[in-house]
Amino acid sequence: MKLLNNPNLTVLVLGDIVGRIGRNAVIRNCRFLKEKYHADLLIVNGENATHGNGLIYKQYLDLVNAGVDCITMGNHIYGKKEILEYAKDANRLVVPANLENLEDELKNNVSFEQIVNNVRVKVINLLGIANINLAVKSPFIAFKEIYEADPEPIYIVDYHAELTAEKNSFGYELDGRASLMFGTHTHVQTADERIMPEGMAYISDVGMCGVRESVIGFDYQEVKKVMWEGGSYSVAMKGKGMLNGLVVTIDTTTKKATSIERINIDVE
């Protein structure tokens, strides 16, 4: 008897990794989570993975070797300058496609593609405009150009943006063309996960992987002091970790999402 191809694609997304505890939480648990949810593809946002600002090559490799399929970035893309040296060897790294004056070393990293269950899947990363403090091209124009040049794949979009309204409006723009849009950047998981009218799975922010008792992954005692006295604060280095994420099932024939589930778990 000839076995039928799996008509579904299951995507597991984990939110912004913040520092060592966030990295370790992902590294120690990602294979278990992939098996638990029967995930075909695991995507994480890694722009805060190294001390809360950027991603070094060693930690990129640690995540990939642990089972992460794709690592998206964001406004801290240049947080660790060595990214310009290793990007050519990091074929699972995705940088914001709408960043103005993108360094030449990163131009081959504006998307990640993989054949999954006999269909082509394309992951892209886009920056929002409000409070990002980087020169960016309109994400609306950027996605339109990318999609019209290559409309065939199943599109998965990490929209790294500050404002929920900005994310929500972009979600309606992508609905019917992308299959999944998940927001990153604010590190606080929202409860608005849903399948939009034209079949795209959506959440305003998928959350973070880091210390549960923290201020978006940073030491809350230091943050409180800064609120009174000014200064700076650092990534939380102790405490119980948490993993925020999302599991989405996509029909590979229609490219429409059929289910969406938030993940919010404590880990040692």
Q: Starting at the earlier edge strand, list the strands of the sheet with 201-203.
A: 112-116, 119-127, 154-160, 180-184, 201-203, 194-195
**Torsion angles phi and psi, residue 266, rounded to 5:** -85, 145
76 annotated active-site: yes
Residues in contact with 227: Cβ distance below 8 Å, sequence separation at least 6, in sequence order: none
Residues in contact with 134: Cβ distance below 8 Å, sequence separation at least 6, in sequence order: 75, 99, 100, 127
Backbone CA torsion sign across 170, 117, 256, 164: negative
8 A C-beta contact, residue 119 and residue 5: no
**85 burial class (0-12, 13-18, 19+ CB within 10 angstroms)?**
exposed
Residue 208: how many other CB atoms lie within 10 Å: 29
Which amino acid is it at 223?
A: V
Catalytic residue among 76, 160, 185, 187: 76
DSSP 96-152: BTTBTT--GGGGGGS-EEEEETTEEEEEEEEE-STT--S-B--HHHHHHHHHHH--S
8 A C-beta contact, residue 194 and residue 167: no
Q: Which residues share a beta bridge with 116?
A: 119
Three-class DSSP category at 237: coil
Residues known to be catalytic? 76
